[in-house]
C-alpha cells in the first residue's frame, strides 16, 4: 500500500491522470507543459513520448476536453474544493484547498476527508449520502484542521460528482471573519440587553427599530417588543422639541445631551437624561438616531426636595434677619428716647 500511495503521490504532483481504456495505458499530462507531447506509460512500465500528431488528436478527444474543462473549473473556484471517493479518500483538490489547509498538494492525496473536517467519520458520510439522495447538496458547518494543528470555522457544501466513479465534492469556505463578526454582534447585543440605561435606535422617521429591556422598564412596559414601530417623539412632552433634537443630531457630528420628562405608561412623568447621536451607515449616510436614557427621577426628586428645603431655609433666614433688624431698630429708638435698657 505504501508503494501505491507513493506512486500516486508522485504522479499527482503537478499532473493530471487520465485513463484510456481502449489502450489500457495511463497518460501523464504535465499541466504546465503547454503543447509539449506528454509521456505515455505502457502496461509493462515502459515510457515513450507521444508524437505531436497523436498528442494533438488526443487533445481533441471528448474525454480530454471534458477533463480539461473540469480541471479549469475546479482550479478557478474561490472556495477550497476536495473531491473524495464515497469512502472518504481524497482524489482531487484545487489550489484554494492547498492555501486553506497549508498541506502540500501531494500530501492531500494520501489523506481522507476525516482528517480535514474535525469530528467527521463514517456516520457523517452515511448521513451526507442519504441527504444527497433527496437533495442536490448538503450544507454543514464545522471546523477544519490545518497542517499546523490550528482550526478554522468553515461552511461546507457537499454534492455528488460523477467522474470515472461517483464521488463527493466538498466545497469549503473559511467563515472565520463571519463567526468573529457574529460573536462580536452577539456580545454587543448582550451588553445592550443587560445595560442599566435605556437604549433606543430610531430610523429617519423616528420609528423605533430597537429598544432594550431597560428602556421598556423605565416607561412601565413589560417587553421592549411592545415599543417597536412606535414613534420615539410620542414619549417626549413635546413632539416639536423632540423633532428639533433629532434634526440637530442628524446634521451635527456631536452627541447631544438634555434633561427632560418622558411619559410613563401610567401617565406620570419620568425624568431622564438623554444622550443622542447620529446613527450612520458604513458609507457615512445618516440612517437614524441612537438614544441613551438614564433615569434621573430619584435624582430629580431629591434635587427638588433640596431646592424646597433650601428655599425654606432662605425664608427662615430672611425671617430671622427681619426679626433681628426689628430688634436693632427698637434698641435704637430707646437709645434716642433716653430709655434705659431693660425698661
Task: List the pLDDT tens digit at each of the 343 positions of the chain.
Answer: 434 444 333 333 333 333 333 333 333 333 334 444 444 444 444 444 545 555 455 555 555 556 678 788 888 889 999 999 999 999 999 999 999 999 999 999 999 999 999 999 999 889 999 989 888 889 999 999 999 999 999 999 999 988 778 899 999 999 999 999 888 888 888 888 888 899 999 999 999 999 999 999 999 999 999 999 999 999 888 888 888 888 888 887 778 888 888 888 888 888 999 999 999 888 888 889 999 999 888 877 777 788 887 888 888 888 888 888 888 887 777 777 766 655 5
Same domain, 157 and 260: no
Q: Is residue 338 part of a domain?
A: no
Same domain, 17 and 104: yes
Domain boundary among 151, 178, 205: 178
Q: Is residue 29 part of a domain?
A: yes
Would residue 34 be called left, alpha or beta, if left means φ above 0 and alpha means ψ between -120 and 50 degrees? left
Q: Is residue 57 part of a domain?
A: yes
Same domain, 150 and 93: yes
Q: Is residue 310 part of a domain?
A: no
Domain total of the chain: 2
Same domain, 171 and 253: no
Same domain, 123 and 252: no
For 122, the domain range is 2-178
For 317, the grid coordinates are: 433666614
Residue that the C-alpha cell 498541506 belongs to: 103
| Alpha-carbon torsion, ordered 234, 235, 238, 241, to 10 deg | -100
Same domain, 222 and 124: no
Q: b/e per residue, 16-55, with b = 16+ CB within 10 A?
A: bebeeeeeeeebbbeeeeeeebbebeeeeeeeeebeeeeb
CATH code for the domain in which residue 251 is found:
3.30.450.20
Same domain, 131 and 226: no
Return the closest-CA partner of residue 111 out of 144, 138, 153, 136.
Answer: 144
Q: Is residue 21 part of a domain?
A: yes
Report the 10 Å Cβ neighbour count for 245: 21
Position 103 scores a pLDDT of 94
Same domain, 142 and 236: no
Which residues, including other chains, have CB under 8 Å from residue 259's CB and lie 6 or more apart? 271, 272, 273, 274, 296, 300
Q: Is 193 helix (H, G, I), strand (E, B) or coil?
A: helix
Return the closest-CA partner of residue 14 out of 93, 90, 77.
Answer: 93
Q: Is residue 162 part of a domain?
A: yes
Same domain, 139 and 202: no
Give the separation between CA 343 and CA 327, rounded to whole angstroms: 14
Residue that the C-alpha cell 464545522 belongs to: 142
Q: Is residue 334 part of a domain?
A: no
Q: What's the pTM?
A: 0.55
Q: Is residue 329 part of a domain?
A: no
Same domain, 172 and 200: no
Same domain, 101 and 232: no
Same domain, 79 and 13: yes
Amino acid at each position: 500500500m505504501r508503494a501505491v500511495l507513493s506512486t500516486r503521490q508522485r504522479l499527482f504532483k503537478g499532473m493530471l491522470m487520465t485513463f484510456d481504456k481502449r489502450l489500457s495505458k495511463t497518460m501523464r499530462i504535465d499541466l504546465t507543459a503547454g503543447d509539449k507531447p506528454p509521456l505515455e506509460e505502457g502496461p509493462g512500465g515502459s515510457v515513450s513520448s507521444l508524437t505531436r500528431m497523436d498528442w494533438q488528436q488526443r487533445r481533441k478527444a471528448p474525454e480530454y476536453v471534458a477533463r480539461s474543462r473540469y480541471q479549469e473549473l475546479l482550479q478557478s473556484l474561490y472556495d477550497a474544493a476536495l473531491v473524495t471517493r464515497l469512502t472518504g479518500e481524497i482524489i482531487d483538490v484545487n489550489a484554494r484547498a492547498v492555501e486553506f489547509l497549508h498541506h502540500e498538494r501531494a500530501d492531500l492525496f494520501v489523506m481522507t476527508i476525516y482528517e480535514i473536517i474535525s469530528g467527521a467519520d463514517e456516520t457523517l458520510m452515511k448521513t451526507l449520502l442519504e441527504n444527497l439522495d433527496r437533495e442536490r447538496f448538503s450544507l454543514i458547518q464545522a471546523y477544519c484542521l490545518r497542517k499546523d494543528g490550528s482550526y478554522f470555522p468553515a461552511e461546507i457544501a457537499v454534492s455528488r460528482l460523477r467522474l470515472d466513479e461517483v464521488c463527493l465534492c466538498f466545497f469549503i469556505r473559511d467563515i472565520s471573519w463571519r463567526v468573529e463578526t457574529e460573536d462580536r454582534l452577539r456580545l454587543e447585543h448582550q451588553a445592550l440587553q443587560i445595560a442599566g440605561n435605556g437604549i433606543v435606535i430610531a430610523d429617519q422617521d423616528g420609528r423605533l427599530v430597537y429598544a432594550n429591556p431597560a428602556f421598556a422598564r423605565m416607561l412601565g412596559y413589560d417587553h421592549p417588543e411592545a415599543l417597536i414601530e412606535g414613534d420615539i417623539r410620542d414619549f417626549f412632552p413635546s413632539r416639536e422639541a423632540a423633532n428639533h433634537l433629532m434634526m440637530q443630531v442628524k446634521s451635527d457630528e456631536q452627541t447631544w445631551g438634555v434633561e427632560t420628562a418622558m411619559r410613563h405608561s401610567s401617565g406620570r412623568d419620568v425624568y431622564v437624561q438623554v444622550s443622542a447621536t447620529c446613527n450612520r451607515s458604513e458609507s457615512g449616510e445618516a440612517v437614524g438616531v441612537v438614544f441613551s436614557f438614564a433615569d434621573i427621577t430619584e435624582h430629580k426628586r431629591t434635587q427638588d426636595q433640596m431646592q424646597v428645603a433650601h428655599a425654606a431655609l432662605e425664608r427662615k433666614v430672611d425671617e430671622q434677619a427681619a426679626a433681628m433688624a426689628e430688634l436693632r431698630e427698637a434698641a435704637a429708638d430707646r437709645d434716642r428716647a433716653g430709655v434705659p435698657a431693660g425698661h
